[in-house]
Structure 1
Amino acid sequence: MVGLFALIVLFALAFLVPLIDPWDQPTRDFTAFLESPSARHWYGTSQTGADLFAQVLRGMQKSLVIGLFAAVVATGLAASVGAAAGYFGGWTDRLLMWGVDLLLVLPAFLVLALLSPSLRDRGWLLFALLLALFQWMVTGRTVRNTTRSLREREYVRAARYLGVPSYRIILRHIVPAMAPLLIADATVNLGSAIVGEAALSYVGFGIQPPETSLGTLIADGSSSFLTTPWLFLFPALTLVAIVLSATLVGDGLRDALDPQSTP
């Protein structure tokens, strides 16, 4: 509950506060260059006079949107591929699991770093899809194993004997039965995707100026950490707060929806 409350607060800060903040992200205060945190600029200012609080909020928006989109896509891929492999079995199972194994052995960070520069001018959507592509495999295997047991349940057999198409059985009976697992997995994927985006942006392979994300802000502030620590600390602490909140929500959901997993 604490993680959920913190996550809601962070989302509200990112998307509602900029509507009333006098120091929006493009605005510069030419009377305050590299000013430390104060009542006028809560997080201080950058070397160009930009209000760091406004920049962090703008970076949170991009990081949260990318993380949420990647988490939903990754969970959807895990549910679709895992359910299809477990339900149909045979060559379908072998082919899909071969693809899962291939993605598992690929160095995800290296592949993302190589492909991201070529997609940089095409917007963040393709970048988020790339992040999602390397986040679903372990859950996909879990969904596949669970589906293999669910397909032998009486209600699934009855639907199959009545001639209900396979895709309807999967959508109406198989996937809803695994909803607790998928919901918990989506929250964990949210934190993982945000960390992945921040890491790639930090080393110059993700979101880059003029766009802003928490990763780019951390990268900009790390070079002057000893002299102007607020440029690094506030974006970094915000990133930690988001990931920690998402992780707490995911762990809490798993404990609540699967009591046997609680020690």
Structure 2
Amino acid sequence: MIPVMHRNWLTWTALSLLGIFALAALLAPWIAPHDPAALDLQARLLSPGHGHWFGTDELGRDIFSRTLFGARISLTVAVTVVGLSLVFGALVGCVAGFYGGWRDALLNIYVMNAFMTLPGILLAIALVAFLGPGLRNVILALAIAGWVNYARLVRAQVMAAREREYVEAARALGANNLRILTRHILPNIMQPVIVQAAVGMAAAVLAEATLSFLGLGVPPPMASWGSMLNDARPHLFDAPHMIFFPAMAVMLCVLAFCFLGDALRDYADPRTRLSAGL
């Protein structure tokens, strides 16, 4: 994969941005210059400067510190949501694609299609509105809304892989279904699943920001990029820095995950590697 990265500066840019966001999320309590929830009404709506690099909001809270802590929320949601969705979706997709028959009809035609008829973000909004705001409920709602994409992908990959020669050879040697799935099929279908997971993290970051913008995300005084954008709406013209920095954080994080997904897709495609001379 290293030669591909050398040829694609977007890949290095994506990895660098994700590294910066990861460090900001991990080290936020130590590198944040101010308490993200501390109020200072004497310093409200300050422009970016030496004391406050990104300025302050309408309550005098430091926007730079809140942006750092917002990275913790966004990356936590992205990793957890994709992990839960991928595990459950892979399990359902393996059962539907490997066994077929009535199991595939039940899971694919009825369950998956039922979830596909509902827009994911609307389903997540409905679930969070029912469960109540909070980080745990946001993760649960987004995982419930997003697992079906991984299930359909895994199902299609498993259906294609189960007819391959190496699967027939393993079955002829006496391997049971569980061993065939875990040792022969799953390792050979992980490349497109990993690409989907990278793109899914971008969607999870954007979905979390959307829920927080609507007031359905993490409750205050926890810092979230979406809630920061919502707080900045009344001050769009008199304090544009309030909306600029969290919006740039969301945009760069989503772009980084999308660029990483594109790079992984190019690496997984043999035709792309052949055209690159690899």
Same fold judged by TM-score > 0.5?
yes
The correspondence for 1:200, drawn from 211, 215, 222, is 211
2:126 is equivalent to residue 114 of structure 1: yes
Taking structure 1 as reference, are residues 102 and 242 closer, same or farther at Cα in structure 2, changes over 3 Å only?
same
Q: Which residue of 2 aligns with 1:248?
A: 259
- Counterpart-to-counterpart distance in 1, 2:161 and 2:86: 19
2:62 is equivalent to residue 81 of structure 1: no
The correspondence for 1:39, drawn from 50, 60, 63, is 50
More deviation in 75-84 or 221-230? 75-84
Please state whether the residue corresponding to 1:25 is helix, strand or coil: coil
More deviation in 35-44 or 70-79? 70-79
Amino acid corresponding to residue 122 of structure 2 in structure 1: L
Taking structure 1 as reference, are residues 162 and 125 closer, same or farther at Cα in structure 2, changes over 3 Å only?
farther
The correspondence for 1:100, drawn from 112, 125, 129, is 112
Shift of 1:165: 3.0
2:163 is equivalent to residue 152 of structure 1: yes
Consecutive unaligned residues of structure 2, counting only runs of 5 or more, are: 1-11
Deviations 1:194-227 (A, max 9, x none): 1111111111222231332111111111221111
Contact 1:79 1:182 in 2 (8 A): no
Taking only the aligned residue pairs, the percentage that are identical comes to 35
Taking structure 1 as reference, are residues 30 and 201 closer, same or farther at Cα in structure 2, changes over 3 Å only?
closer
2:10 is equivalent to residue 5 of structure 1: no
Amino acid corresponding to residue 66 of structure 2 in structure 1: Q
Shift of 1:255: 0.7
- Counterpart-to-counterpart distance in 1, 2:158 and 2:32: 49
Contact 1:86 1:148 in 2 (8 A): yes
Shift of 1:259: 3.5
- Counterpart-to-counterpart distance in 2, 1:49 and 1:130: 32
Shift of 1:17: 4.1
The correspondence for 2:153, drawn from 127, 142, 148, is 142
Please state whether the residue corresponding to 2:235 is helix, strand or coil: coil
Q: How does 1:147-186 map to 2 (within 5 A)?
A: 147-186=158-197
Q: Which residue of 2 aligns with 1:232?
A: 243
Amino acid corresponding to residue 38 of structure 1 in structure 2: G
Q: Which residue of 1 aligns with 2:36?
A: 25
Q: Which residue of 2 aligns with 1:57?
A: 68
Q: Which residue of 1 aligns with 2:7?
A: none
- Counterpart-to-counterpart distance in 1, 2:137 and 2:95: 25
Shift of 1:166: 1.7
Q: Which residue of 1 aligns with 2:221?
A: 210
Contact 2:24 2:72 in 1 (8 A): no
- Counterpart-to-counterpart distance in 1, 2:210 and 2:36: 22
Shift of 1:64: 1.1
Deviations 1:108-132 (A, max 9, x none): 33332222133236x4223212212
Deviations 1:24-48 (A, max 9, x none): 2133445422111001100001222
Please state whether the residue corresponding to 1:82 is helix, strand or coil: helix
Q: Please report the TM-score for the alignment, with normalisation by the length of structure 1.
A: 0.92
Consecutive unaligned residues of structure 1, counting only runs of 5 or more, are: none
Deviations 1:133-158 (A, max 9, x none): 22233342232122112112232223
Q: Which residue of 1 aligns with 2:270?
A: 259
Q: Please report the TM-score for the alignment, with normalisation by the length of structure 2.
A: 0.87
The correspondence for 2:27, drawn from 16, 21, 25, is 16
Q: How many residues align?
A: 262
RMSD: 2.0
Amino acid corresponding to residue 157 of structure 1 in structure 2: E
Amino acid corresponding to residue 107 of structure 1 in structure 2: P
Amino acid corresponding to residue 159 of structure 1 in structure 2: A
